[in-house]
Amino acid sequence: MAPSIRLSPAARSLFDEPLAIAVQGLGPRQQVTLRTSLRDETGQLFQASARYQAGDDGQLDLARCPALPGGSFSGLEPMGLLWALQPQKPFWRLVKRDVQSPFLLQLEVLEGHGERPGQLLAQAQHERAFLRDGVRRVPVREGRIRATLFLPPGEDTFPGIIDIHGLGGGLSEPRASLLANHGFATLALAYYQFEDLPQKPKELHLEYFEEAVNYMLQHPQVKGPGVGLLGFSKGAEVSLAMAAFLKNITAVASLNAPVAATYIPFSYKDKIIPNVTLHEHKAKATNSKFLDYSDVMDDLFQAPGNQSLIPLEKAEAQLLFIVGQDDRVVKSERCATEVCKLLQAQGKGNFQILSYPGTGHCIDPPFFPLYPIGSHPIFHKRAVLGGELKAYSKAQVHAWSQVQAFFKKYL
């Protein structure tokens, strides 16, 4: 019997879903290398490989067989061939622009453990999709809002979430599309550098985000009375400012938030939150010659009454702070800890912190590759963003399930 790859689900799975991988028809205790590859929408290649030894019966099940040293990872890691994918082009990030088409994953089984790949024994293809059957993708151009709404299948009402991305502009849909697969009506919201939105906003007007909240609450398939917000980096900062100033925000999940206005100030009606000063000269060169910007921001908690701090004591929403302990862009763990101390001192208990070791600034849904060194979102120089491969892969899976549980509980 010739070797073959057995996958479950067989042909197609959602990008954030586990994929069971097994090989059958090998010789007893045969040594093989498994390799995965995937090309992004620009054609850039991502690859991972791992060394295995089949059982006495010639079977190899990644859920039961540990990977041997010498590949992209080792140990019992059933999803290692997905989370360990790394770009061939250095410092390249895996981005999904068109969520309506899947990524195509190639799997190969190669003879032996040599530095050079051995003979090809078996291969398979698998689609990693962003939209479950029946999820609707609805472009939104209402008033000033520029967004995409993802609705789960069916005619029911669903808890509503607004997903707000970090600096970099444009409209990012992957996280919102994946959330819709889990039963949330999710609005991926652009706020600058997209269509007719400002290219370089002097300030972010919270009225724009208020319009998005009202759009969601007026939608016949969004279950009120409030909405949830999921924000990353600058988007998490926006989400926290919304919770402090706007009505009808029930729950906010914040991924690595600065908890103060950075780079672009906020305004709402006649109130302005000025941005905190960043000192580029405080960036440190690491021994890998990349810059570490984690100390460029003034300490928000040294001077009491700092005007740049978001007044979270005004927020009535439940707050979930998700922080990477190795975040080198924002000291997000310290920010969350200090802000929660301030809330606690005011008798508030509407917050929780999930803190992940070995996790850097970028916290994506499960199985997106680690992006530890990239362009700094403000200084646009190559910078350390932080994170370690194995720890980050565990954090992604755990944080993603916690975000969904949090929104199910409070929405």
> What span, in angstroms and rounded, lies between the C-alpha atoms of 13 and 81?
15
Please say whether the beta carbons of 235 and 209 come within 8 A. Answer: no
The amino acid occupying position 302 is Q
The reply to whether CATH 2.60.40.2240 applies to domain 4-129 is yes
Please classify residue 289 by burial: count the beta carbons closer than 10 Å to its beta carbon, then call 0-12 exposed, 13-18 middle and 19+ buried.
exposed
- Which of the residues are catalytic? 233, 327, 361
Q: What is the Cβ-side half-sphere exposure of residue 325, based on CA atoms within 13 angstroms?
A: 9
> What span, in angstroms and rounded, lies between the C-alpha atoms of 147 and 354?
29
pLDDT reported for residue 303: 66
pLDDT reported for residue 301: 86
> What span, in angstroms and rounded, lies between the C-alpha atoms of 213 and 246?
9
Whole-model pTM: value is 0.96
Domain limits, the chain: 4-129, 136-410
Q: Residue 217's closest CA among 178, 247, 237? A: 247
Q: What is the pLDDT of residues 37-92, one digit of tens each?
A: 999 999 999 999 999 999 999 999 999 999 999 999 999 999 999 999 999 999 99
Distance from CA of residue 69 to its chain's centroid? 29
pLDDT reported for residue 305: 67
β-pairing, 103-111 vs 31-39, is: antiparallel
> What span, in angstroms and rounded, lies between the C-alpha atoms of 386 and 406?
26
Distance from CA of residue 98 to its chain's centroid? 16
Secondary-structure class of domain 136-410 per CATH: alpha beta
Asked if the bond preceding 87 is cis, omega within 30° of 0, the reply is no
pLDDT 10s per residue in the chain (411 long)? 899 999 999 999 999 999 999 999 999 999 999 999 999 999 999 999 999 999 999 999 999 999 999 999 999 999 999 999 999 999 999 999 999 999 999 999 999 998 888 999 999 999 999 999 999 999 999 999 999 999 999 999 999 999 999 998 999 999 999 999 999 999 999 999 999 999 999 999 999 999 999 999 999 999 999 999 999 999 999 999 999 999 999 999 999 999 999 999 999 999 999 999 888 889 888 777 888 998 898 888 876 668 999 999 999 999 999 999 999 999 999 999 999 999 999 999 999 999 999 999 999 999 999 999 988 888 888 899 999 999 999 999 999 999 999 999 999
Return the structure tokens found at 132: 């479950």
